Amino acid sequence: MAQILNRDTALFHFLTRIGDSTLILGHRVSEWCGHSPMLEEDIALANTALDLIGHTRMWLGLAAEVEGKGRSADDLAFLRDSMDFTNLLLVEQPNGDFGQTMMRQLLFDAWHLPYLNALKSFPDPRVAGIAEKATKEVAYHVDRAADLVVRLGDGTHESHTRMQAALDELWPCVGEMFSTDEVDAMLAPDAPKPDRIRDAWDATILPTLARATLAVPATRFTRQGGKTGRHSEHLGHVLAQMQFLQRAYPGATW
């Protein structure tokens, strides 16, 4: 963050962090379209992706408005490079198999819902309005992800093994969701409190993993950097696909 932080620039960063996370996860989930194990799951994943892209349009639209430099939500989505993206590392991780996708979804949704709930009382009504709208949709995401993680975790030996491997693989990306920095500090006391979000996350995740007969990984290693633009190698590939058209044919519309 090269610029000096004040409340407006902090709000811009705060909004792009949420919007980038919903954008990249929405894109990742949309990669399943036409490839899911069953038609119903294909439709459910496409709907989830659609909700997340809808949230993105609102979050990045508001970020662009707050920034006041004439950029649009599309400009932010299609014309920034990876170091300017501030999504969580969790959401850019590859889909893997269906189980790994659902595990990533559950870990994110269990954070997303209480985070949005906290934002419903944000003093800026534009932020609170988006959170109020998105909360209703995300409540369905959590239910579905939890249901599938339990069914696959407590399923066959094969599905259980894969779900445990997915959890172990993604676990180091969990801590970043609850980290805070100067952006959150600038918006205090209005930014969601990480301790409370973590408590709500635990209250969803721990019983769900227990029902899924999955073991909480012992590692305390945490990967961070997404929120400040330091990404894994995967994000560049996502952007190459997502942004290709606007990069190759600037301003193309249809």
Partner 1 sequence: MVATIPRVAQVWDWLDEVPDPEIPVISLRDLGVIRDVRWEGDILSITITPTYSGCPATSLITLDIHSALADRGVDKVRVMQQLSPAWTTDWLSDKGRARLERYGIAPPGQAGGPDRCPHCGSDKLERISQFGSTPCKAAWRCMGCLEPFDYFKCI
Stretch of 1-9, 47-55, 228-236, 240-248 lying at the interface with partner 1 (CB under 8 A): 47-55
Nearest distance, CB of residue 18 and partner 1, angstroms: 13
Q: Binding of partner 1 at residue 74 (CB under 8 A)?
A: no
Sole binder of partner 1 in the list 10, 11, 29, 58 (CB under 8 A): 58
64 or 130, CB closer to partner 1?
Answer: 130
Cα distance between residue 109 and residue 100, in whole Å: 14
Q: Of 130-138, 152-160, 189-197, 227-235, which segment contacts partner 1 by CB under 8 A?
A: 130-138
**43 touching partner 1, by CB under 8 A:** yes
How far is C-alpha 19 from the geometric centre of its chain's CA atoms?
Answer: 8
Which of 50, 79, 165, 210 binds partner 1 (CB under 8 A)? It is 50
Residues 88-127 that bind partner 1 (CB under 8 A): 125
Question: Which residues ranging from 134 to 153 are in contact with partner 1 (CB under 8 A)?
Answer: 134-137, 140, 143-144
Size of the site for partner 1 (CB under 8 A): 27
Nearest CB to partner 1, comparing residues 40 and 233: 40
What are the distances in angstroms from CA 87 to CA 124, 221, 231, 232, 239? 22, 19, 9, 11, 12
Q: How far, in Å, CA of 42 to CA of 38, rounded?
A: 6
Report how far residue 36's alpha carbon sits from residue 44's, in angstroms, rounded to the nearest whole number. Answer: 10
Among the listed residues 27, 57, 104, 162, the single contact to partner 1 using CB under 8 A: 57
Q: Which of 106, 113, 238, 114 is nearest to 173 (CA)?
A: 106
Asked if residue 254 binds partner 1 (CB under 8 A), the reply is no
Which residues contribute to the site for partner 1 (CB under 8 A)?
Answer: 40-41, 43-44, 47-48, 50-55, 57-58, 125, 128-130, 132-137, 140, 143-144
